[in-house]
């Protein structure tokens, strides 16, 4: 795990990967932009296909892959649903480069965003699609969906084979800042259920927060024990990075 200072926060990727709590199995291929990032045969993070040649994920996922050749070539799986079953919708892609935001801070997890270029473009079809970026920052109360293969229990971990989905809500920014004083800035957005029970967790890092059919956030960090009441998850606020994302694609 990555911990923030003395507070017991996790970065959603960590050594074991992250998963959705309080969710249920997604309908097969209902999240056709979902990517699975691997180091060797080990799932380390989620990601989102936003261009035939580009996946966006969390910058802190890079640490989980150190020692596995992350900077050269590593596998990205698209069109995946059941990790241990081949159903011929999957596309295995190697990456040619991983570009971490130049102002990423590993200590605070500010600017926790990374772009991964695929060695060859994805073949788009009904099971592998790109997801548009949200250019508008989210309104409190917006209903959203998270997905991932992260743990379904916390603090004990239990990792599913099947992609999990859960519905959560955007939390007011001022409320989020009061919950995590000195940690939250405009590059982050909180989402979850204030009553607890539903959250992203270890293994979900880098995966999508989808609101109104667009990529609104990227799973970043939260409390060590996931899905606690009044402790929502924290996501990269994608609307703050659309220019950087577009420039990265154009320049590479």
Q: What is the mean pLDDT of residues 166-178?
A: 97
Residue 93 φ then ψ, to 5°? -120, 140
Is 6 one of the annotated active-site residues of the chain?
no
Question: In angstroms, what is the C-alpha Rg of the chain?
Answer: 16
pLDDT band at 3 (very low <50, low <70, confident <90, very high): very low
**What is the pLDDT at residue 65?**
52
Residue 12 CB-density burial (10 A; 0-12 exposed, 13-18 middle, 19+ buried)? buried
Distance from C-alpha of 135 to C-alpha of 240, rounded to nearest angstrom: 8
pLDDT digits (tens, 9 = 90+) for 23-64: 899 999 999 999 999 988 889 999 999 999 999 999 999 875
Q: What is the mean pLDDT of residues 124-137?
A: 98
Catalytic: which of 2, 11, 39, 112? Answer: 112
* Euclidean distance between the first and the last CA atom of the chain, given in angstroms as a whole number: 31
Is 112 one of the annotated active-site residues of the chain?
yes
Q: What is the mean pLDDT of residues 94-116?
A: 96
**What is the pLDDT at residue 156?**
80
User: Which fold does the domain 32-130+242-251 belong to in CATH?
Assistant: Thrombin, subunit H (2.40.10)
Global pTM exceeds 0.85: yes
Residue 121 φ then ψ, to 5°? -65, 150
> Domain segments of the chain: what residues?
32-130+242-251, 142-239
Q: 142-239: which CATH architecture? A: Beta Barrel (2.40)
Given this chain, do its domains 32-130+242-251 and 142-239 carry the same CATH topology? yes
Catalytic: which of 39, 53, 60, 134? Answer: 60
Is 205 one of the annotated active-site residues of the chain?
yes
Catalytic: which of 154, 200, 205, 220? Answer: 205
Q: Does a cis peptide bond (omega within 30 degrees of 0) precede residue 155?
A: yes
Average pLDDT score over the chain: 89
């Amino acid at each position: 795990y990555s911990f923030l200072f003395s507070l017991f926060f996790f970065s959603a990727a960590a050594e074991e990967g992250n998963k959705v709590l309080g969710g249920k199995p997604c309908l097969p291929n209902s999240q056709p932009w979902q990517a699975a990032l691997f180091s060797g045969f080990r799932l380390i993070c989620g990601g989102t296909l936003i261009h035939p040649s580009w996946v966006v994920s969390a910058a802190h996922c890079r640490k989980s892959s150190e020692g596995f050749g992350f900077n050269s070539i590593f596998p990205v799986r698209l069109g995946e649903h059941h990790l241990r079953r081949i159903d011929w919708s999957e596309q295995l892609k190697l990456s040619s480069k991983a570009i971490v935001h130049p102002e990423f801070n590993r200590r605070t997890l500010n600017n926790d965003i990374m772009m991964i270029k695929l060695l060859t473009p994805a073949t788009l079809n009904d099971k592998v699609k790109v997801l548009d970026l949200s250019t508008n920052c989210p309104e409190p109360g917006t209903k959203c969906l998270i997905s991932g293969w992260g743990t379904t229990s916390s603090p004990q971990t239990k990792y599913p084979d099947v992609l999990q989905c859960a519905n959560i809500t955007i939390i007011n920014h001022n409320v989020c800042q009061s919950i995590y004083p000195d940690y939250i800035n405009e590059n982050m957005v909180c989402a979850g259920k204030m009553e607890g029970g539903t959250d992203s967790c270890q293994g979900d890092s880098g995966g999508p927060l989808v609101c109104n059919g667009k990529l609104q956030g990227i799973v970043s960090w939260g409390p060590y024990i996931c899905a606690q009441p009044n402790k929502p998850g924290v996501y990269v606020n994608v609307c703050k990075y659309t220019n950087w994302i577009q420039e990265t694609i154009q320049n590479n």
